[in-house]
Structures are given as C-alpha cells and as structure tokens.
Structure 1
C-alpha cells in the first residue's frame, strides 16, 4: 500500500518503488487524502531526481544547466577562486538559458555573449576570465570527458587579446625602503615573499608543520590546493629561525596593538596574520616607503627575475608552481637584458665591430694602403 499507518502512530507513511529504487518516509499528516497528495509529490520529486542523475551520465545532448552543474561538482568548486567561478557560471546560464543543449551553442551565439560582456565596460581580460574561459571549460570537458555532443567552436575567435602582464622588479634600494617602512611583525612575511616568490595566500596559510629545518625544505599550498616543495636557502633559514616560538602553528604572525574583546585579541599577544590584515598593512606601509608603482604580486616577479639570472626557466617554473612553462616565459626579459649588458661590455673591450667610427675609419685606411 503506497500510504499506511505504522502500528500505534496516527501519521501516514509513504512507500513506493520507482525504477528499481525504493522511496519511503513520513508524510507528516494523519489525513489520508493529504498523505496521498504528498505521496504524489514525493513520487514526482523522485522522478525528477532520477532524470537529473540519468542526464549526468547520458551520452546524448546535454543541457547547459546539467553541464554547468556537473562541471561545478567536478572542477569549479575545487578551484582557488571557486566563489567567483560560481558567479561566472551563473551569468553564462542567465545569458543562454538553462535548457539550451551544448550542441546548439554556435560560434555566432558565443560571439554575441562576448559582445554583451564587453558592453559592461570591462577589460578584455575580464571578458575572457568571466565568460569565454568558463564556457570553454564546460564545453571542452563535456566533449572530451563526458563524450556528449558539443558544437564545433573555434575558441581562438572568441578569446580577446590581452595586454602582456608587466614584470616589475624591485631594485635593491626599493627593497630596503619597503622593509624599513614595514611594521616589524609584517616585515618577515614581505621578506619571505621577495626571497621565495610565494603568493600572499601561500604565505598566510604557511604552518610550521610544513617547514622542515632538518631537510631544509618548505611545502607550500598554491592555487587549486596544489602543493610544491621549495628548498630553504640560507637567507630563508635565518628568517624563519627567528620566528620560531612566536606561534605554535602559524609561521607568520602579527602583534595585537590593542585589546579587542569582540575579536578575542589581547594587546601584545601574537596571532596568525590574515589575508585582509596583510593587505591593509601592505598598502599602508608600501605607501609610507615611497616606492611607487609596486604591487604585492611584484614581489613574486622580483624573486622570479632574480632567480632566473642565476638559474634557468625550468627552475623558475618549479619555484613559482607554474604548470605551463609558457607562463614563466614572461620573465625571459631578464635573460635578454643581461645578455644585452654582456654584449655591450664585450663590444667595448677591444672588439673592432663595436668601436664606432674610429674603427670604421681605421679599416678604410688599411684598405687604401693595401
């Protein structure tokens, strides 16, 4: 019987089978007609769930809604910027509609999407990051991993050209001014960034369990929860050794300047630095240093450029945790500039080809005398 009363209980219970599965539970009512209506509601809900589950693994046309949901579960929620990615996917769904299938999406429709996003007055990089790239990720995974029909899209026509990321290196004088202006409790974190090229998030999250003084290594967790191991140089060792004992778990800490009961802070005690606190300290004391046009991410550029001068591109790739060496290639300017300096020096140490007009005139005179 689909609805029934258990012994001694006034409320009805529903119980039914659907596609080999059994569904049962309380209806929350002692009225049989209401219980039967709830039964039909539960049956429809179960049918919808089964349809959704089947569409997740179906090999036929897949709706954008199902594809976006599956992509979020398998990929999106695990990204470092998952909160933003969820919003990007939502915008794409609103633009195309939930029920369009992936094989119906054409180049023309994607071009219209890109045009609409550009109309919001955002940069080319933002258009790519918030619209074209997420949709490409969904459709590529659907085609290659889920094996469902997808429109033949030429993504090279839709990804907008972006300006090359600048590479800003701090001079020795700028580094000194930055560290001198920084608060004593935040200065070690900035020094660590300049020495290792670690991102702010990697610095904030670093714990003593990931620092191996004996093996001289540091394990950091970067984007997408991917870990990499960095060697501990003498400078990094000296920096971290001084910080031992400041806190039982966190490597980088700050000293509370005042007691705050609401935030449970006691003046003079040390607490793990936070992302927001680090951002505030960086902006305030960087401005105080007088160093201009220098972002925190430029500490990463500085470390990479300096390392490249004495190493090679593969070393810098591993240090920064880049999956693709093409991402690291933007630091090649350091090698080119050093090569230029070396060539200039060579051209001024006895080379006839670099001696200017005097060498040219001398060469002509020799030809005449011959």
Structure 2
C-alpha cells in the first residue's frame, strides 16, 4: 500500500512477520505521483522477496521444518526482533551485533561461530581505537568484552530456540577486566575546597555529600526540596522500554546539605538566587549563547548547566594534575564514605538509589584500617582473650 503523508509518498508492505515502511522522493500528491509510488513499492517488495528467498536457501531445517541453522544476518535479526529490542540498552546491543555481523559476514552460518571465530572477533575489536579522545587510543578490555558478550547472549538465545550452536569456552574468549576502583580522596577534596570556583563549589559538594549523579545535581529545583519532611527528591532517568515512571529517589537533608541549600539564597532577603533552579553561578563576562541565543550579562546569576560544569571540571583537572579522576567519582566517594561510617550496605544502597545490592557492592571497598578495626572489635578491648589466659 502506498500512502501520502508529511508532504511525500510512502511505501508499505508486509511479508510474513516482516513489515516495511519507507519514504520515497515523490512529493507530488497527484494520480501520476501515486502511480510512481505504487511502482516503487512493487519493486521494493519484489527485492525483499528475492533476498528472503536467497536467505531461505541457506536455512537448514529439520524434518518438522523448524530452523536449526541459519545465516548470521537472519539469526541476529530474529534475536533482535523477538528479544533484544525490548532489553535495557537495546541501542548498544544493536550496535554490537551489527559490528559482529559485519565481521563474520551476513551469510556465515551461526553453527560456524566457534571459539576460534570469537577470538578473531576479539582481536579485531582490540585493534580498534576509542573515539572519545582526540588522540587514537586503544579501547579498553571492558569494551572488547561488551562486543563479545553481545554475541554470547545472542547465541544463548538462539540455542534456547532450537538452533545448533557451538559450545564455546568463554573464559578463553573474554579478556580479564580489573574493576576501576577510584575514589575522590581527601587530598583531592582539599584542593577543590581551596581552588575550585566558589559559585560552582556548592553543587560539587552536594554531589559529594549525597552521591547524586551530575545530571541530578544540576537539574535540582526548589520544588524538589521539601522542608517539611526534610528530604530531597532526585530525578531518576526512565529505563528504556519501560512504561512505568521511575520511583522517586528520596534522600534526607543533612546539616551539610542544609548549609549548601541556604548558601543559594540571598543573605539579605532570604530569597533564592533563582526562582526555579537551586544551583547557580555568577557570569564572569557578557556574552550570547550560541544555541539558545540568550544574552548572559556579567555579574548576574544563572542556573548551572550540565555542559558548563563538565567543561570547567575538565579544565580544573588539567590545571591541578588530577589524573584518572572523574566528576562521577564524587558519587563513588559518597557511597564509599557512607558505608565506612555506617557499615550498613542497605544505607549505602538507599543513598545511591540502587535497585540491586550487587551494584552497591562496587562502592563498598575495605581498607586495612577497616579490617583492623573489625578484628579488634571481635574481642571488645582488643586483647582480652590473651590477657585472660595469662
């Protein structure tokens, strides 16, 4: 069926479970334009059927007609259509599967994907460079494993649905990954307290106190602050594919957070510097924003933006020699410190807003001092058992 919409003709057809809707270059809403659109639709449908017939020749079926082996392109498409597109992080899964399909070739049978083929894919991925840096740098082992694990999960789903898949020892394929244990140390905190931009500092200290993410901190509004219950509602991002809105993440207002909030009010009038957003900065120069066209006047206060805080943090790190320290490490530091003070993993989980305690375990690092204190607490005064035996 060809239809006219949004100023151009579209073609649409269905073949089995497959449905395709694509625009054309025809913009004239006339009988001649409709005739051309129908012709293009017939050509596209014929091309799809021809390609489907070629792929069908490569499918291996059992006596009951069920597919037991098929090309990579068809197998990954089935996995995507029936499972992966509804999973969390579907966009990343699609990208990794497309990379693997391009490496193996679309016509390669999935039964040929063995440990040797996966090692070749792994080595090809290791030679890629990261696009996040200006200089070409090798990608991390974790990024390599993400590509391999996307294929691993796809093969597991295909095996569960009757396809013949090789048994692969994934311990040989996957690379060793060391967890990145970083912490915003007291030495970093001392430099930040003395050298960080004063109007940006309260927002940073808020992240360090409550463990919020950067986006949650800069988007905090006065309507999220409840002085009656002494709590703050942090906005949580909606999960991909979920129809439910995320539950609000409530954190209590501590004495430190109270002081930071009150610092964002005028000392004379006790009115907030900004009527809507909590964290603000003082413009250092008069300029015009490129994207919004808004004029920024020097000396006046404006809400802190995600990009503004990020760019200033990058410059601050470079000027003060902070190596391998991210602004997200303030969240890690908040989780680690609250655990060391409370020794309660559930309190750490509630502060960080995790739904799974296994995620919180990444923040619960123990030091020699923690271990020594725990060992001493076993006997109360730290040597009662030895003294009593003497």
Q: TM-score, normalised by structure 1?
A: 0.68
Choose the corresponding residue for 1:175, options 168, 185, 189: 189
Relative to structure 2, which stretch is displaced further, 101-110 or 31-40?
31-40
Cα deviation, residue 214, structure 1: 3.0
For residues 286-315 of structure 1, the C-alpha deviation after alignment (integer angstroms, 9 at most, x for no partner) is: 555676664323212221121112141222
The equivalent residue for 1:196 is 210
Relative to structure 2, which stretch is displaced further, 178-187 or 248-257?
248-257
For residues 207-236 of structure 1, the C-alpha deviation after alignment (integer angstroms, 9 at most, x for no partner) is: 445443333132332584755513223222
Relative to structure 2, which stretch is displaced further, 216-225 or 119-128?
216-225
* Structure 1 runs not aligned, ≥5 long: 4-13, 52-58, 364-370
Instruction: Give secondary structure in 2 for the equivalent of 1:190.
Output: helix
The equivalent residue for 1:366 is none
The equivalent residue for 2:333 is 302
The equivalent residue for 1:367 is none
Cα deviation, residue 195, structure 1: 0.6
Cα deviation, residue 191, structure 1: 0.6
- CA spacing shift, 1:351–1:161, aligned 2, 3 Å: same
The equivalent residue for 1:258 is 285
- CA spacing shift, 1:157–1:350, aligned 2, 3 Å: closer
* Structure 2 runs not aligned, ≥5 long: 3-10, 54-65, 129-137, 241-245, 266-271
Instruction: Give secondary structure in 2 for the equivalent of 1:160.
Output: coil
Query: How far apart, in 2, do the equivalents of 1:143 and 1:308 lie?
Result: 42
Cα deviation, residue 138, structure 1: 3.8
Larger Rg: 1
Give the number of the structure with larger relative contact order, counting CA–CA contacts within 8 Å between residues 6 or more apart. Answer: 1
CA contact (8 A) 1:199 1:297 kept: yes
Alignment of 1:1-370 (within 5 A): 30=32, 37-38=39-40, 40-41=42-43, 43-44=45-46, 60=67, 63-67=74-78, 69-70=80-81, 73-75=85-87, 82=91, 87-100=95-108, 102=110, 104-120=112-128, 121-129=138-146, 131-140=147-156, 147=161, 149=163, 151=165, 152-171=167-186, 174-215=188-229, 216-222=231-237, 224=239, 229-234=249-254, 235-243=256-264, 245-263=272-290, 264-267=294-297, 268-286=299-317, 294-309=325-340, 310-334=342-366, 337-341=369-373, 343=375, 351=383
Cα deviation, residue 111, structure 1: 2.2
CA contact (8 A) 2:249 2:353 kept: no
The RMSD of aligned alpha carbons is: 4.7
- CA spacing shift, 1:126–1:211, aligned 2, 3 Å: same
Cα deviation, residue 254, structure 1: 3.1
Cα deviation, residue 85, structure 1: 5.8
Aligned residues: 332
CA contact (8 A) 1:65 1:98 kept: no
CA contact (8 A) 2:76 2:97 kept: no
Cα deviation, residue 39, structure 1: 5.8
- CA spacing shift, 1:19–1:331, aligned 2, 3 Å: closer
Cα deviation, residue 194, structure 1: 0.7
Cα deviation, residue 239, structure 1: 2.1
Relative to structure 2, which stretch is displaced further, 230-239 or 184-193?
230-239
Instruction: Give secondary structure in 1 for the equivalent of 2:366.
Output: helix
